[in-house]
Amino acid sequence: MGISLLWAQYPQVREKVKNLPQFDDRFVHYGYFVGVNNYFFDFNYDLDYYRTDFLPDIEVTPSTGFTIGLIGDMRINQFMNLRLEPGLYYTQRDLLYPDTEGFETENDRFREIKSTYIHLPLLLKINALRINNFRPFLLAGASVDFNLSSNKKNTDDNFSNVFRVENQTLNYEIGIGFDFYLFYFKFSPSIRGIFSLENELIPDNTPNSPWTSRITNMVSRGVVINLVFE
């Protein structure tokens, strides 16, 4: 009786049930993701082109795009996984040129750049220790983009309202995310930055083009939020 009364004074500790306890032991597994992205351009300019004249930067207005793709994951050890995440990324960026460029019409100052990327990243996933049904992780790696909307082979240029960019670029990526182990699957939201390493601009055919002549380098910068289901 005394032991029963003493035990009743203390709350019983209930162990939290682990969902998918053997999930991370698999050598290979697959999944898919959906998400949103936000891309913009980073420009470098030819300062000698305008000599001593000051000219405002080109304004870039990004639009929210969406992503969808598949995941192949290979276990290296308890703390590292190698991941291939091929996906389709849709995005749009609008350029507004300064009115000091001498364009013939106001509409010439605007350029709408739509991009459809086949995005092929190879990533290293670095995992922390699992805490019940939660685990944070880091992502780092490299990727290649194939832009299906590049207009690279188009002989027209901005004088015909065609803005051309390269159809292939190399990038590096870094990000952070969290694994949530649910009853039937693992849910992993993540956010990452994508940084192009190559100049994407194809100059216009006219050397003194107001759209491209003062740009020496144009690279993409992107932020992607993915919702992963494995």
Residue-level pLDDT, tens digit, the chain, 230 residues: 444 454 455 455 455 788 888 999 999 999 999 999 999 999 998 876 554 456 778 899 999 999 999 999 999 999 999 999 999 999 999 999 988 667 878 888 999 999 999 999 999 999 999 999 999 999 999 999 999 999 998 999 999 999 999 999 999 999 999 999 999 999 999 999 999 999 999 999 988 888 998 899 999 999 999 999 99
Q: Hey, what are 176's tokens?
A: 């952070």
Domains of the chain listed by start with CATH number: 26-229 (2.40.160.20)
Nearest to 61 by CA among 36, 25, 96: 96
DSSP-assigned letters across all residues of the chain: -HHHHHHHTSPPPPPPPPSSTTGGG-SEEEEEEEEEEEEEEEEEE-TTTTTT---PPPEEEEEEEEEEEEEEEEEEETTEEEEE--EEEEEEEEEE--TTS--SSGGGGEEEEEEEEEEEEEEEEEE---BTTEEEEEEEEEEEEEETT--TT-S--GGGT---B-SEEEEEEEEEEEEEE-SSSEEEEEEEEEEE-S--B---SSTT-TTTTTEEEEEEEEEEEEEEE-
Tell me what pLDDT residue 101 has. Answer: 62
Strands 110-127, 134-147: pairing kind: antiparallel
Q: Hey, what are 17's tokens?
A: 């049930």
Tell me what pLDDT residue 227 has. Answer: 97
Alpha carbon distance 98, 132 (integer Å): 55
What does each C-alpha distance from 20 to 32, 131, 150, 190, 207 come to in angstroms?
Answer: 18, 13, 43, 20, 61
Give the contacts of 150 (CB within 8 A, at least 6 positions apart): 115, 164, 165, 166, 167
What does pTM read for this prediction?
0.86
Tell me what pLDDT residue 81 has. Answer: 97
The alpha carbon of residue 95 and the mean position of all alpha carbons in its chain are separated, in whole angstroms, by 20
